[in-house]
Structure 1
Amino acid sequence: MNEQLPATAYLTAVARAEATLDPACDLVDEYAARFAELCPPSVRAITAHTGGLSVVAARTTTIDAMLTRALERRAPGVFVNLGAGFDARPYRLDPGAWPPGCRVVEVDVASILDVKDRLLPPAEAAVPIERVRCDLRFLGDLDRALRPRTEGERLLLLAEGLLTYLPEPQLAGLARTLAGFGASASWICDALSTDSARVLTRASRGAGSKLTMYGLTDVRAFEENGWRCEDISLLPTARVQRSAGPGVGATSQLPDCVLSLRR
């Protein structure tokens, strides 16, 4: 996963930068271009035949809307962005969206956060930011990093573009670890169908990358580890089934989507 996380961080920046230049797109991220310029050509080539950039942009706007609603309804004391990459939400969202006293904790590998510190200094954000260097494969390290920062707090967690790189046992372990943080918690995250994961993995191989994506058929990895699904928003690639909708059950076939979870 060390190799994968930097790649997805750059791909997401490219998608947001291109969407910002497209007048037909609702996404405006004036910071993304700073990071997109650094994206290696071999990584950029992954989405050449998948339409992946437009999907990432749509995912970002979907999460923006869900996040804004959650900030208003839940008024969290701490917002934790897992695998934060080059996400600029503390800079580009309306400053009034952040509840008084809310602070942001961004978690990612050092190679990403070191670049981010240089191109997007924490002092310029609309809300206090702390950046925590942690490899999310090592759940003991994550527990030690986040537990003292979240003790007794109302949490809002975000994992965008992260869970698709985790095999289901690792995803279940992450869900179980996160369920132990804070006094209460909400979690916004995206998921791929197994079909989409296969397509994107083949595309990455064709581009010479080692990226592997993992899809989900259901939400058991969350529900069996302390979380319940409150809402599901379909992404453009989803094949909508009549049975899909809010509160999708553990036996439903999961489409490409963004999930809102509570514990």
Structure 2
Amino acid sequence: MLTSLPVESISDTAFLTAFYRALETECPDSLFQDPHARILAGERGEKLVEAMPGGKSGAAGCAVRTCVMDELILRTVQEDGIDTVLNLGAGLDTRPYRLPLPTSLYWYECDLPVVLAYKAEKLAGVQPRCVLESVSLDITDSITRQTFFQDVGRVAKQVLAVTEGLLIYMSTEQVAALATDLYAQPQFRWWLTDLASASALRYFQQSVNRSLNSSDATLRFAPEEGTEFFRHYGWKSVELRSLLEEGQRLQREILPQSLLTQLQAPEHWEIWRKMSGFVLLRRH
């Protein structure tokens, strides 16, 4: 029986996310319900949150990210004829179990074997709402990745790729290669991801990288050109939502009140508004 994952690996971020989602689920005014988050996070998720700078303060940002990406996934599936979702670096995500998805939808959750095995053990007996397939995949292995994308492309008609909380841990070259491989499959029409700005990366590196001891959990990707980065590889931004603005809309405080009071000047607000967000991309 699997009870833990490698210490100090990028997989730890999956435990953090699961615990944050459990905290949101247990709020009286929760933005979503993830009934499996607490069991997936376990004691490890709680200990990791306690060790993080700011502790539980990161839960608000995670809740907003989850809620906004839930909305965009459901809307894209419903309005754009998506028949396949490709969740890369899925971690301990439970959307196939909790979202009102079409039963005919194919959902591929891709991650390292040990992550998927742990998740399968914890969710044994729980039925997904769509056709779910777990795929062992190191997203940075270009040969294996290309082969898998080709296999999906042969059977799918309209694919939405999702990279939640993934790109920031990859190098610019790795993201460029991933974007190229996604675009190589004509059936891959949409791509949903979160994206940090270069200034946000510098801020995060000062506070977060010190708490992540593993080299594979280092924060890296935040292009100076923002969403224009993806245009070079065939992807155009069609919708961009600010984490800060979405936090206001959903009544979740992303920034501490002490910092918010310093953002009265429009130029300061604009800088922080652009620091992190969610982008829906469509192939040219």
Provide TM-score, normalisation by structure 2: 0.79
1:142 aligns with 2:164: no
The structure in which a higher percent of residues are helix is 2
Structure 2 stretches lacking a partner, 5+ long:
1-5, 245-253, 256-262
Following superposition, the deviation at residue 31 of structure 1 comes to 0.8
Read off the aligned partner of 1:43 and give its amino acid letter.
L
Secondary structure, in 3 states, of the residue corresponding to 1:51?
helix
Following superposition, the deviation at residue 93 of structure 1 comes to 0.8
Kindly provide the CA deviation profile for residues 99-140 of structure 1, in whole angstroms up to 9, marking residues without a partner as x: x53211111011110111111248610111111101111121
Following superposition, the deviation at residue 167 of structure 1 comes to 1.9
Read off the aligned partner of 1:144 and give its amino acid letter.
T
Matched ranges for 1:47-66 at <5 A:
47-48=53-54, 51-66=57-72
Retained in 1: the 8 A contact 2:182–2:188?
Answer: no
- Which residue of structure 1 aligns with residue 278 of structure 2? 258
1:22 aligns with 2:27: yes
Question: Alpha carbons of 1:141 and 1:221: their partners in 2 closer, same or farther (altered >3 Å)?
Answer: farther
Question: Alpha carbons of 1:25 and 1:148: their partners in 2 closer, same or farther (altered >3 Å)?
Answer: same
- Which residue of structure 2 aligns with residue 199 of structure 1? 203
Following superposition, the deviation at residue 50 of structure 1 comes to 8.4
Question: Equivalents in 1 of 2:72, 2:110: separation in Å?
Answer: 20
Question: Equivalents in 2 of 1:208, 1:82: separation in Å?
Answer: 21
Question: Equivalents in 1 of 2:275, 2:212: separation in Å?
Answer: 27
Structure 1 stretches lacking a partner, 5+ long:
245-252
Provide TM-score, normalisation by structure 1: 0.85
- Which residue of structure 2 aligns with residue 108 of structure 1? 111
- Which residue of structure 1 aligns with residue 239 of structure 2? 231
Read off the aligned partner of 2:185 and give its amino acid letter.
F
Question: Alpha carbons of 1:16 and 1:123: their partners in 2 closer, same or farther (altered >3 Å)?
Answer: closer
Secondary structure, in 3 states, of the residue corresponding to 1:129?
strand
Question: Equivalents in 2 of 1:42, 1:20: separation in Å?
Answer: 18
- Which residue of structure 1 aligns with residue 52 of structure 2? 46
Percentage identity across paired residues of the two chains:
25
Question: Alpha carbons of 1:62 and 1:55: their partners in 2 closer, same or farther (altered >3 Å)?
Answer: same
Question: Alpha carbons of 1:184 and 1:212: their partners in 2 closer, same or farther (altered >3 Å)?
Answer: closer
Counting matched residue pairs gives: 251
Question: Alpha carbons of 1:38 and 1:145: their partners in 2 closer, same or farther (altered >3 Å)?
Answer: farther
Question: Alpha carbons of 1:47 and 1:54: their partners in 2 closer, same or farther (altered >3 Å)?
Answer: farther
Retained in 1: the 8 A contact 2:212–2:218?
Answer: no
Q: Which runs of 4+ in 1 moved over 4 A?
A: 237-242
Structure with greater Cα Rg = 2
Question: Equivalents in 2 of 1:77, 1:150: separation in Å?
Answer: 12
